[in-house]
Structure 1
Amino acid sequence: MLKSSIAALVLCAALPASLQPAAAEGRSFNGTWSVQLVTESGLCDSRYSVALAITDGDVRVASAGEGGATVSGRIGPDGNVGLTVRRGSASGAASGRLQANSGAGTWSVSALCSGRWTAQRRTARVAQAD
Protein backbone atom coordinates (compact mmCIF):
# COMPACT_ATOMS: atom_id res chain seq x y z
CA MET A 1 0.00 0.00 0.00
CA LEU A 2 2.77 2.44 0.93
CA LYS A 3 4.68 1.64 -2.26
CA SER A 4 1.59 2.31 -4.44
CA SER A 5 1.02 5.64 -2.65
CA ILE A 6 4.66 6.57 -3.22
CA ALA A 7 4.36 5.57 -6.89
CA ALA A 8 1.29 7.79 -7.38
CA LEU A 9 3.08 10.74 -5.78
CA VAL A 10 6.18 10.19 -7.87
CA LEU A 11 4.10 10.05 -11.04
CA CYS A 12 2.64 13.42 -10.22
CA ALA A 13 5.73 14.98 -8.65
CA ALA A 14 6.97 16.17 -12.01
CA LEU A 15 3.97 18.34 -12.62
CA PRO A 16 5.31 21.71 -13.74
CA ALA A 17 4.12 24.77 -11.85
CA SER A 18 5.27 28.02 -10.29
CA LEU A 19 4.16 30.11 -7.36
CA GLN A 20 3.88 33.27 -9.49
CA PRO A 21 0.51 34.25 -10.96
CA ALA A 22 0.39 33.67 -14.70
CA ALA A 23 -2.69 33.95 -16.88
CA ALA A 24 -1.57 34.97 -20.33
CA GLU A 25 2.10 34.37 -19.48
CA GLY A 26 1.68 30.60 -19.14
CA ARG A 27 -0.03 30.16 -22.50
CA SER A 28 3.22 29.42 -24.29
CA PHE A 29 3.32 26.14 -22.31
CA ASN A 30 -0.29 25.10 -23.12
CA GLY A 31 -0.72 21.51 -24.24
CA THR A 32 -0.17 17.93 -23.23
CA TRP A 33 3.27 17.01 -21.90
CA SER A 34 4.87 13.60 -21.38
CA VAL A 35 6.94 13.54 -18.19
CA GLN A 36 9.55 10.88 -17.37
CA LEU A 37 10.82 10.51 -13.79
CA VAL A 38 13.99 8.69 -12.80
CA THR A 39 14.61 7.77 -9.16
CA GLU A 40 18.16 8.50 -8.04
CA SER A 41 17.81 7.60 -4.35
CA GLY A 42 15.29 6.07 -1.98
CA LEU A 43 12.47 3.51 -1.96
CA CYS A 44 10.61 4.38 -5.19
CA ASP A 45 10.62 2.35 -8.40
CA SER A 46 13.38 3.32 -10.85
CA ARG A 47 11.21 5.00 -13.55
CA TYR A 48 7.76 6.53 -13.93
CA SER A 49 5.85 8.27 -16.72
CA VAL A 50 2.84 10.58 -16.58
CA ALA A 51 0.91 12.75 -19.05
CA LEU A 52 0.19 16.31 -17.88
CA ALA A 53 -2.07 19.00 -19.25
CA ILE A 54 -1.22 22.70 -19.01
CA THR A 55 -3.83 25.38 -19.67
CA ASP A 56 -2.96 29.07 -19.23
CA GLY A 57 -0.37 28.24 -16.57
CA ASP A 58 -2.57 25.76 -14.65
CA VAL A 59 -1.33 22.16 -14.42
CA ARG A 60 -3.31 18.94 -14.01
CA VAL A 61 -2.82 15.24 -14.61
CA ALA A 62 -4.12 14.51 -18.15
CA SER A 63 -5.64 11.16 -17.15
CA ALA A 64 -8.11 10.72 -14.31
CA GLY A 65 -6.50 7.37 -13.41
CA GLU A 66 -3.36 8.76 -11.72
CA GLY A 67 -4.22 7.88 -8.13
CA GLY A 68 -6.17 10.91 -6.86
CA ALA A 69 -3.21 13.18 -6.16
CA THR A 70 -3.79 16.94 -5.83
CA VAL A 71 -1.40 19.48 -7.28
CA SER A 72 -0.93 23.14 -6.41
CA GLY A 73 1.05 25.64 -8.44
CA ARG A 74 1.36 27.27 -11.86
CA ILE A 75 3.82 27.79 -14.71
CA GLY A 76 5.82 31.00 -14.35
CA PRO A 77 6.17 33.33 -17.35
CA ASP A 78 9.84 32.32 -17.64
CA GLY A 79 9.06 28.57 -17.44
CA ASN A 80 10.22 28.12 -13.84
CA VAL A 81 8.71 25.06 -12.17
CA GLY A 82 7.85 24.77 -8.47
CA LEU A 83 4.95 22.72 -7.13
CA THR A 84 3.52 20.64 -4.34
CA VAL A 85 1.75 17.29 -4.83
CA ARG A 86 -0.31 15.60 -2.12
CA ARG A 87 -1.91 12.16 -1.91
CA GLY A 88 -3.32 11.15 1.43
CA SER A 89 -0.78 12.03 4.12
CA ALA A 90 2.21 11.93 1.75
CA SER A 91 3.50 14.98 -0.11
CA GLY A 92 6.05 15.64 -2.81
CA ALA A 93 7.68 18.57 -4.56
CA ALA A 94 9.21 19.28 -7.95
CA SER A 95 11.30 22.13 -9.34
CA GLY A 96 13.00 22.90 -12.62
CA ARG A 97 12.29 24.72 -15.84
CA LEU A 98 10.19 24.35 -18.98
CA GLN A 99 11.21 25.68 -22.38
CA ALA A 100 9.14 25.78 -25.57
CA ASN A 101 8.88 21.99 -26.06
CA SER A 102 10.93 20.39 -23.29
CA GLY A 103 11.89 20.75 -19.66
CA ALA A 104 13.90 19.22 -16.83
CA GLY A 105 14.31 19.39 -13.08
CA THR A 106 14.33 17.47 -9.81
CA TRP A 107 11.65 15.93 -7.57
CA SER A 108 11.35 14.43 -4.09
CA VAL A 109 8.70 12.62 -2.06
CA SER A 110 9.25 13.58 1.57
CA ALA A 111 12.41 11.80 2.75
CA LEU A 112 11.42 8.57 0.96
CA CYS A 113 12.91 9.09 -2.50
CA SER A 114 14.14 11.68 -4.99
CA GLY A 115 15.34 12.02 -8.55
CA ARG A 116 15.16 13.99 -11.76
CA TRP A 117 12.45 14.56 -14.37
CA THR A 118 12.35 15.44 -18.06
CA ALA A 119 9.34 16.60 -20.05
CA GLN A 120 8.48 16.74 -23.76
CA ARG A 121 5.49 18.58 -25.22
CA ARG A 122 3.28 16.14 -27.14
CA THR A 123 0.58 18.50 -28.39
CA ALA A 124 -0.22 22.19 -28.24
CA ARG A 125 -3.82 21.26 -27.45
CA VAL A 126 -4.86 20.27 -23.95
CA ALA A 127 -6.18 16.72 -23.58
CA GLN A 128 -9.43 16.19 -21.68
CA ALA A 129 -9.37 14.06 -18.52
CA ASP A 130 -10.92 10.61 -18.89
Structure 2
Amino acid sequence: MLKSSVAALVLCAALPASLQPAAAEGRGYNGTWSVQLVTESGMCDSRYSVSLAIADGDVRVASTGEGGATVSGRIGPDGHVGLTVRHGATSGAASGRLQANSGSGTWNVSSLCSGRWTAQRRTARVAQAD
Protein backbone atom coordinates (compact mmCIF):
# COMPACT_ATOMS: atom_id res chain seq x y z
CA MET A 1 0.00 0.00 0.00
CA LEU A 2 2.78 2.45 0.91
CA LYS A 3 4.63 1.68 -2.33
CA SER A 4 1.55 2.45 -4.46
CA SER A 5 0.98 5.73 -2.59
CA VAL A 6 4.61 6.73 -3.09
CA ALA A 7 4.40 5.82 -6.78
CA ALA A 8 1.28 7.97 -7.19
CA LEU A 9 2.97 10.92 -5.52
CA VAL A 10 6.19 10.54 -7.49
CA LEU A 11 4.32 10.38 -10.80
CA CYS A 12 2.30 13.47 -9.99
CA ALA A 13 5.16 15.38 -8.38
CA ALA A 14 6.72 15.87 -11.78
CA LEU A 15 3.79 17.76 -13.15
CA PRO A 16 4.98 21.26 -13.94
CA ALA A 17 3.04 24.10 -12.32
CA SER A 18 3.90 27.11 -10.23
CA LEU A 19 2.31 28.73 -7.23
CA GLN A 20 2.06 32.13 -8.91
CA PRO A 21 -1.60 33.22 -8.84
CA ALA A 22 -1.80 34.93 -12.22
CA ALA A 23 -4.88 33.90 -14.22
CA ALA A 24 -4.15 32.57 -17.79
CA GLU A 25 -0.38 32.92 -17.58
CA GLY A 26 1.70 30.06 -18.85
CA ARG A 27 -0.16 29.81 -22.17
CA GLY A 28 3.13 29.31 -24.00
CA TYR A 29 3.40 25.91 -22.31
CA ASN A 30 -0.02 24.60 -23.43
CA GLY A 31 0.02 21.04 -24.70
CA THR A 32 0.77 17.49 -23.70
CA TRP A 33 4.08 16.81 -21.98
CA SER A 34 5.90 13.56 -21.29
CA VAL A 35 7.66 13.65 -17.91
CA GLN A 36 10.42 11.28 -16.78
CA LEU A 37 11.43 11.07 -13.11
CA VAL A 38 14.66 9.56 -11.81
CA THR A 39 15.02 8.75 -8.11
CA GLU A 40 18.33 9.89 -6.66
CA SER A 41 17.74 8.99 -3.00
CA GLY A 42 15.19 7.14 -0.89
CA MET A 43 12.95 4.10 -1.22
CA CYS A 44 11.06 4.91 -4.45
CA ASP A 45 11.43 2.97 -7.69
CA SER A 46 14.35 4.15 -9.83
CA ARG A 47 12.28 5.61 -12.72
CA TYR A 48 8.73 6.82 -13.36
CA SER A 49 6.93 8.31 -16.38
CA VAL A 50 3.76 10.37 -16.57
CA SER A 51 1.90 12.25 -19.28
CA LEU A 52 0.41 15.62 -18.38
CA ALA A 53 -1.68 18.28 -20.06
CA ILE A 54 -1.18 22.01 -19.59
CA ALA A 55 -3.88 24.54 -20.53
CA ASP A 56 -3.42 28.26 -19.76
CA GLY A 57 -1.01 27.52 -16.91
CA ASP A 58 -3.23 24.87 -15.31
CA VAL A 59 -1.92 21.31 -15.15
CA ARG A 60 -3.80 18.02 -15.11
CA VAL A 61 -2.74 14.41 -15.39
CA ALA A 62 -3.27 13.20 -18.96
CA SER A 63 -2.47 9.55 -18.17
CA THR A 64 -4.49 7.36 -15.84
CA GLY A 65 -3.43 5.27 -12.88
CA GLU A 66 -2.03 8.01 -10.64
CA GLY A 67 -3.85 6.57 -7.60
CA GLY A 68 -6.05 9.54 -6.64
CA ALA A 69 -3.32 12.05 -5.84
CA THR A 70 -4.35 15.73 -5.95
CA VAL A 71 -2.18 18.38 -7.56
CA SER A 72 -2.16 22.15 -7.00
CA GLY A 73 -0.09 24.86 -8.63
CA ARG A 74 0.42 26.71 -11.92
CA ILE A 75 3.04 27.44 -14.57
CA GLY A 76 4.55 30.91 -14.23
CA PRO A 77 4.79 33.16 -17.30
CA ASP A 78 8.58 32.63 -17.33
CA GLY A 79 8.25 28.84 -17.11
CA HIS A 80 9.13 28.51 -13.44
CA VAL A 81 7.59 25.43 -11.85
CA GLY A 82 6.36 24.89 -8.29
CA LEU A 83 3.85 22.20 -7.36
CA THR A 84 2.27 20.58 -4.32
CA VAL A 85 0.96 17.00 -4.51
CA ARG A 86 -1.08 15.20 -1.83
CA HIS A 87 -2.12 11.57 -1.51
CA GLY A 88 -3.74 10.76 1.81
CA ALA A 89 -1.41 11.95 4.60
CA THR A 90 1.65 12.03 2.30
CA SER A 91 2.68 15.12 0.36
CA GLY A 92 5.24 15.90 -2.30
CA ALA A 93 6.62 18.84 -4.23
CA ALA A 94 8.33 19.62 -7.52
CA SER A 95 10.19 22.66 -8.78
CA GLY A 96 12.15 23.64 -11.86
CA ARG A 97 11.60 25.37 -15.17
CA LEU A 98 9.97 24.74 -18.53
CA GLN A 99 11.24 26.15 -21.81
CA ALA A 100 9.52 26.05 -25.21
CA ASN A 101 9.64 22.26 -25.67
CA SER A 102 11.50 20.85 -22.68
CA GLY A 103 12.03 21.33 -18.97
CA SER A 104 13.77 19.98 -15.90
CA GLY A 105 13.84 20.26 -12.14
CA THR A 106 13.76 18.40 -8.85
CA TRP A 107 11.07 16.57 -6.87
CA ASN A 108 10.61 15.03 -3.44
CA VAL A 109 7.99 12.98 -1.63
CA SER A 110 8.10 14.00 2.03
CA SER A 111 11.22 12.40 3.49
CA LEU A 112 10.70 9.16 1.55
CA CYS A 113 12.57 9.91 -1.67
CA SER A 114 13.76 12.62 -4.05
CA GLY A 115 15.21 13.06 -7.50
CA ARG A 116 15.18 14.95 -10.80
CA TRP A 117 12.57 15.26 -13.56
CA THR A 118 12.80 16.09 -17.25
CA ALA A 119 9.90 16.95 -19.55
CA GLN A 120 9.43 16.99 -23.34
CA ARG A 121 6.48 18.62 -25.09
CA ARG A 122 4.59 16.09 -27.24
CA THR A 123 1.83 18.29 -28.67
CA ALA A 124 0.91 21.96 -28.58
CA ARG A 125 -2.81 21.30 -28.11
CA VAL A 126 -4.73 20.18 -25.06
CA ALA A 127 -8.11 18.46 -25.16
CA GLN A 128 -10.85 20.07 -23.07
CA ALA A 129 -11.44 18.50 -19.66
CA ASP A 130 -14.65 16.52 -19.31
Please give the per-residue CA displacement for 1:56-80, whole angstroms capped at 9, x wherever unaligned. Answer: 0001101243211100000000000
Query: Identity over aligned residues, as a percent?
Result: 89
Please give the per-residue CA displacement for 1:19-68, whole angstroms capped at 9, x wherever unaligned. Answer: 11233431100000000000000000000000000000001101243211
The residue aligned with 1:106 is 106
After TM superposition, the score normalised by the length of structure 1 is 0.95
SS of the residue corresponding to residue 83 of structure 1 reads strand
The residue aligned with 1:90 is 90
CA distance in 2, matches of 1:54, 1:69: 17
Q: Which amino acid aligns with 1:111?
A: S
The residue aligned with 1:81 is 81
The equivalences for 1:31-50 within 5 A come to 31-50=31-50
5+ residue gaps, structure 2: none
Q: What CA RMSD, in Å, does the superposition of the two structures yield over aligned residues?
A: 1.4
SS of the residue corresponding to residue 86 of structure 1 reads strand
The residue aligned with 1:3 is 3
The residue aligned with 1:116 is 116
CA distance in 2, matches of 1:95, 1:76: 11
The equivalences for 1:51-90 within 5 A come to 51-90=51-90
The residue aligned with 1:26 is 26
After TM superposition, the score normalised by the length of structure 2 is 0.95
Q: How far does residue 126 in structure 1 lie from its aligned partner after superposition?
A: 1.1
Q: How many residues align?
A: 130
5+ residue gaps, structure 1: none
Which aligned segments of 4 or more residues in structure 1 are displaced greater than 6 angstroms? Answer: none
CA distance in 2, matches of 1:14, 1:110: 14
CA distance in 2, matches of 1:6, 1:59: 20
CA distance in 2, matches of 1:15, 1:57: 12
